[in-house]
Structure 1
Amino acid sequence: MKNNILIPSEYVKFDAKPDAVPYKYRLSYRISITCLILKITGGRSGCSLTKIHLITISMYSTKSMDHLLAYLNEPKSNFLTLRFDPAVNKTINFMLADKIIYQQKNGLFRLSDKGKKFTQKLIRSNELLISEKSFLNNISTHLSEDIIKNISNTLLG
């Protein structure tokens, strides 16, 4: 199976930067967040790339997080903006290459055994990603793949 499912022509590159990269842009943070998204919101069937994008982008600000939660509580009176961030695709590609996740035949992503072990350490920690875990627990399984499909169809249909 080919590991570069999303963007076959791109590879992960590491270049030295003159300034420190803010934590939200670091690969280790993005991998951690993606693992938590898959574990906490993925349900039994897995998680689509669109869902990962929607949740990750919602985590960029408190306002965006509140907006997503408001949508889940009252979808008819709220709207969502679905954006795609190339950094999410690069994170997914790296996670596939490192065998932290795998893609099922239905296209949904799941944590591998390696990813599950890593994620359990994150979940058990009372010091790491506290606000992120709280937000994802509020979403839990309320953001189903059916809702994601409806959002996509509304925007793209």
Structure 2
Amino acid sequence: MDKLINFSNRIDESLIVRFDPAVNRALDYAVAYGFVVQQPTGNFKLTDNGKSFAERIKIEGNLMATEIKDLTELSKKLTETRIKELVEIWEDKYAQDK
């Protein structure tokens, strides 16, 4: 997570991108439970139900505290534009079919 935070702060542009199938599975479950919806652009958006669930996790205090802290920091800095830049960096370095 530190490397992603550094990337979002423009401290370090050398980021390793990995595609973890667990993320897709988690998104499938989140959609199935109504926590997120996929928008026509392909992006995912938290629903009111998802926001409520996230608030309940925060209220617990010690549940996912590190993840909440890191993701809260990232949410302010890792914009769609910055994510597109990350994808472009990855494509330039590693994509076979450009």
Same fold (TM over 0.5): yes
Q: Deviations over 1:72-105 (max 9, x none)?
A: 2234x43111111001101111111222211111
- In structure 1, the residue matched to 2:8 is 72
Distance of 1:104 and 1:78 partners within structure 2: 29
Give matches, 1:1-157, under 5 Å: 65-75=1-11, 77-157=12-92
TM-score (normalised: structure 1):
0.53
Higher relative contact order structure (alpha carbons within 8 Å, sequence separation ≥ 6): 1
Moved over 3 A (4+): none
- Paired residue for 2:96? none
Corresponding residue SS for 1:102:
strand
1:80 to 1:125, Cα distance in 2 relative to 1, 3 A:
same
Deviation, structure 1 residue 138: 2.1
Question: Number of aligned pairs?
Answer: 92
For residues 8-47 of structure 1, the C-alpha deviation after alignment (integer angstroms, 9 at most, x for no partner) is xxxxxxxxxxxxxxxxxxxxxxxxxxxxxxxxxxxxxxxx
CA distance in 1, matches of 2:84, 2:57: 29
Aligned Cα root-mean-square deviation (Å): 1.6
Shift of 1:114: 1.7
Segments of structure 1 that go 5 or more residues without pairing to the other structure are 1-64
Aligned equivalents of 2:75, 2:48: Cα separation in 1: 21
